Chains A and B, each alone.
Chain A
Amino acid sequence: MLWLSSRYENLELGQAVLEYVCRVRGIENDAEHWIGVALREALANAIKHGNRQDPSRRVMLTLGGSTDDLEIVVGDEGEGFETAAVADPLAPENQMKTSGRGIFYMKTFMDDVTFSRGARGGTILTMRKHLGGDQKKGVQAL
């Protein structure tokens, strides 16, 4: 488990940890790229919307899973939010908005994305990517 302060520079640290895990586990480059996009969105969400860029609040990151999948958990120390309230970025009225696509990208590039409340508050985001023979799943599998 890694604890990061709420600074965007730490996206690079999270990405570096992911690259190491992918290398150790033999996850191929294409899959690593799309998982990396999702991870950056998750960390950015936690920093921006969860912790409101307050560097004294931390973002928790864990990477785990079994031999068949990679599980990423990102937690923040914010007030939490209602995912149902997030607008559909594909709706015509939202297409030209300058924000609101992060969760959509996470759900697109990962196989399973869930949000929950942390025991001490904040939001816990859990994302899972299946690795068995479908590592290349990016936009092709949509």
Chain B
Amino acid sequence: MKTTVTTRDVGDVKIVELHGKITIGAGDLQMREAIHTAVSAGATKLLIDMKDVTTIDSSGVGELVGCYTTATHKGAKLKLVNLPPKISDVLTVTQLITVFDVFTNEKDALASF
């Protein structure tokens, strides 16, 4: 699956949907660009939907951490939703799962902002 990043707005929440691999040289930079663009445009509520992410590597995890830090420093909130089990596992073993606010469905995630 080719890596793509799409965005949509629900109220004042910017939802960033990732599709495919978030790995070095592929989706990692696309994700960073989407988040940075949203934050630069003034978005303060960001939700990354990972439902269609097939693989994430250390570079993708690093970019995710970088996006979180960027958003937080700009006063924005960044949360995650719809993590496939294997993606959740990758964040769990490095204990990053406790850093992010993670939701199992979009409705709960949107209500949390």
A40 touches B57 (CB 8 A): yes
Q: Tell which of A60-68, A71-79, A91-99 binds the partner.
A: A91-99
Residues on B with C-beta less than 8 A from A80 are: none
Which A-B residue pairs are the 3 nearest by beta carbons? A8-B25, A98-B62, A101-B58
A:7-62 near B, CB below 8 Å: 8-9, 11, 33, 36-37, 40-41, 44, 48
Closest Cβ neighbor of A109 among chain B residues: B93
CB distance from B16 to the nearest CB of A (A): 18
A101 touches B25 (CB 8 A): no
Residues on B with C-beta less than 8 A from A102 are: 57-59
Is B95's CB within 8 Å of the partner chain A?
Answer: yes
A96 touches B25 (CB 8 A): no
A-B CB contacts (within 8 Å), total count: 70
Q: 1/0 per residue B44-81: CB within 8 Å of A?
A: 00000000000101110111011011000000000000
The interface of chain B, by Cβ under 8 A from chain A, is 23-26, 55, 57-59, 61-63, 65-66, 68-69, 86, 89-90, 92-96, 99
Give Cα distance in the complex from A9 to B25, angstroms.
8
- Contact flag A105-B90 (CB < 8 Å), given A90-B95, A95-B95, A98-B62: yes
Give Cα distance in the complex from A97 to B96, angstroms.
11
Closest Cβ neighbor of B55 among chain A residues: A37
Is A108's CB within 8 Å of the partner chain B?
Answer: yes
Residues on A with C-beta less than 8 A from B55 are: 33, 36-37, 40
A98 touches B63 (CB 8 A): yes
Q: 6 A-B contacts, Cβ less than 8 Å apart?
A: A8-B25, A11-B24, A44-B59, A97-B62, A98-B69, A102-B57
Is A84's CB within 8 Å of the partner chain B?
Answer: no
CB distance from A51 to the nearest CB of B (A): 14
Indicate the member of B55, B68, B90 with the most A CB atoms within 10 Å: B90
Residues on B with C-beta less than 8 A from A97 are: 62, 65
